[in-house]
Structure 1
Amino acid sequence: MSVKVRPAPLLNVKASSREQVAAYLASSRVKDISKPIEPSEPMYGEVDYELRTLRGDARIGGIVYDGRRIEEILIGLLRSSNELETATIVMTDRFISTYSQDDLRHHLRTVIPGFPSIISVPGMVEAPAKPRQYYMLKQRLASTGGESLNIELLKRTFKGRFLDYGDPEMTEVAKGLALQAVLHHLTLKPFCADKKCRLFNAHWQEDLLGSQTGSPGLCPKHSRRMKRLGENPIVSW
């Protein structure tokens, strides 16, 4: 598979376009998880913060952005170089979400397949839920104080059952998410129901690790599908 790495689009916005992009980023913030995002006029401080992130003068914080609106921004930024024949994947340090009509709320996502697809690096850690026992123990420990010590205790207790920042497994997980994005580009069907397939859309950390780490691979169905795609003369790996 041929891969071309390009500069991060949100860190290479032309100076003449930064204020416009910053305003659009600010208006893409999810402020109420129970409501679909609607067009709104962002506050000056929000736009100024986004402007500083675009210049590289401010760190990206724990703000959640509507993933589809971020996709719209990226479409505009990549328009001149984004070829429809090529699967484009943007890695971001921002939290991204989509609004679900099933339970009428926003959910953090690891990957949002699209044109381009977006993979959220912090989303790998925060989007899939940790084991239920983690939250039960966290609630019990909350009454004892010493939050930082309790977090370290939780991490030790559940080590290997969820991803954490800086985890070496994140690279392997990112590969699987990128594969989902590629399959979406080719078929519009990026996910698999098989928990042992790298295309499984995991909502729990243990399922994410189970499908993406160790000895990950494709299920028989998707192995055959990828083989057929590889034999298609219009598909170039």
Structure 2
Amino acid sequence: MSTVVLYRAPTTVADADEIADWLRDRVGSAVEVRDRFLDVHREGPDDTEGLAEAFADSRVLSPYERETGNTMLGIVRYEERALDRPEREGGVLYDGAAVQRALNAALPEDESAPDRLHVALLDRAIGTWGDHDGRWHKRVNVLGQPALVSVPGLYEAPAKPEEYYREQQKTALLSGDAPPREVLEEQVEGEFLVADDPRTTEALKGYVLQAVHCWRTGEGFCDEESCRLSNPHRQPGVVDAQLRDPEFCEDHAELYD
């Protein structure tokens, strides 16, 4: 691989330039930073309409239904506004594989060379369908071309500590409604990342490297839970893998330390 192209997510606290600097020291490839993918590879009104329809079609309708998509006019118009004003988008889960196909189709032919990997930081929540349990699961990243790294997924996809959910259920029983997330985050002690966490950029470095590693080697996630290339399903595991030393297991330290 000769070039990694990393795209900013300007409505988030993720610092793409800092991630790129860290990546250059480890992968031995050129790392180029660009503005938001959905701006760079969208040239006119036709592109906006097509991408808006693609996002509308990739909306997850129910956690337990495989079928996705709502392309009613109002939904498509919402997605058009979200493309132009991303700070207004939120609360929607998208099929990560479908979004990846749409963004791949948006890449110009001269940008699709096999030695060039595009990695898009996204301000949207993405998920994949689990055949093993018949439900959607939020993800931090979806590997491939382009690779997708969801900033809200960093906070939402890995499960919080058990105490978080116990407190959530207790408050809901007493008040009839779940407490705001911000309240729970203050009440529950434990190791987990929250929205706009100052550790966001540091944690995302490993998830971007996972995309590069998969592209270079064809390998998936590392089985060593403390390695940056692992894919923990719980927040304490994310903290351990991405924010504590050592950064890598012995095998991957030979490649990236």
Q: TM-score range by the shorter chain?
A: 0.7 to 0.9
Query: Within 5 A, what are the aligned runs for 1:12-161?
Result: 12=40, 13-15=42-44, 16-37=46-67, 42-56=71-85, 59-80=88-109, 81-145=111-175, 151-161=181-191
The one-character-per-residue Cα deviations of 1:72-104 (angstroms, maximum 9, x if unpaired) are: 111111233233212221000111001111112
CA distance in 2, matches of 1:115, 1:222: 22
CA RMSD of aligned residues (A): 2.3
Q: Return 136-145 or 195-204, whichever deviates more.
A: 136-145
Residue 214 of structure 1 deviates from its aligned partner by: 2.7
CA distance in 1, matches of 2:133, 2:176: 34
Q: Name the residue aligned to 2:38.
A: 10
Which amino acid in structure 2 is aligned with residue 219 of structure 1? Answer: C
Query: Within 5 A, what are the aligned runs for 1:192-211?
Result: 192-211=222-241
Which amino acid in structure 1 is aligned with residue 132 of structure 2? Answer: D
Q: 1:52–1:58: 8 Å Cα contact kept in structure 2? A: no
Q: Name the residue aligned to 2:21.
A: none
Where does the alignment leave 5 or more consecutive residues of structure 1 unmatched?
231-237
Where relative contact order (Cα < 8 A, 6+ residues apart) is larger, the structure is 2
Q: Return 4-13 or 166-175, whichever deviates more.
A: 4-13
Structure 1 residues 198 and 46: CA distance shift in structure 2, 3 A: same
What is the DSSP-based 3-state SS (H/G/I as helix, E as strand, rest coil) of the residue aligned with 2:34? coil
When the two structures are superposed, what TM-score results if normalisation uses the length of structure 1? 0.87
Residue 35 of structure 1 deviates from its aligned partner by: 2.8
Residue 9 of structure 1 deviates from its aligned partner by: 2.2
Aligned residues: 226
Residue 184 of structure 1 deviates from its aligned partner by: 0.8
The one-character-per-residue Cα deviations of 1:120-155 (angstroms, maximum 9, x if unpaired) are: 000000000001121012211223339797755532
What is the DSSP-based 3-state SS (H/G/I as helix, E as strand, rest coil) of the residue aligned with 2:129? strand
What is the DSSP-based 3-state SS (H/G/I as helix, E as strand, rest coil) of the residue aligned with 1:31? coil
CA distance in 2, matches of 1:61, 1:185: 29
Structure 1 residues 188 and 61: CA distance shift in structure 2, 3 A: same
The one-character-per-residue Cα deviations of 1:212-233 (angstroms, maximum 9, x if unpaired) are: 0032411012223x26xx9xxx
Structure 1 residues 144 and 212: CA distance shift in structure 2, 3 A: same
Q: 2:140–2:157: 8 Å Cα contact kept in structure 1? A: yes
CA distance in 2, matches of 1:134, 1:36: 28
The one-character-per-residue Cα deviations of 1:173-232 (angstroms, maximum 9, x if unpaired) are: 1001011111111122131111111111111000011100032411012223x26xx9xx
When the two structures are superposed, what TM-score results if normalisation uses the length of structure 2? 0.80
CA distance in 2, matches of 1:43, 1:174: 34
Q: Name the residue aligned to 1:183.
A: 213
CA distance in 1, matches of 2:125, 2:180: 24
What is the DSSP-based 3-state SS (H/G/I as helix, E as strand, rest coil) of the residue aligned with 2:33? coil
Q: 1:128–1:203: 8 Å Cα contact kept in structure 2? A: yes
What is the DSSP-based 3-state SS (H/G/I as helix, E as strand, rest coil) of the residue aligned with 2:106? helix
Where does the alignment leave 5 or more consecutive residues of structure 2 unmatched?
1-23, 25-29
CA distance in 2, matches of 1:221, 1:58: 40
Q: Percent identity?
A: 35
CA distance in 2, matches of 1:62, 1:140: 24
CA distance in 2, matches of 1:169, 1:184: 24
Q: Name the residue aligned to 1:162.
A: 192
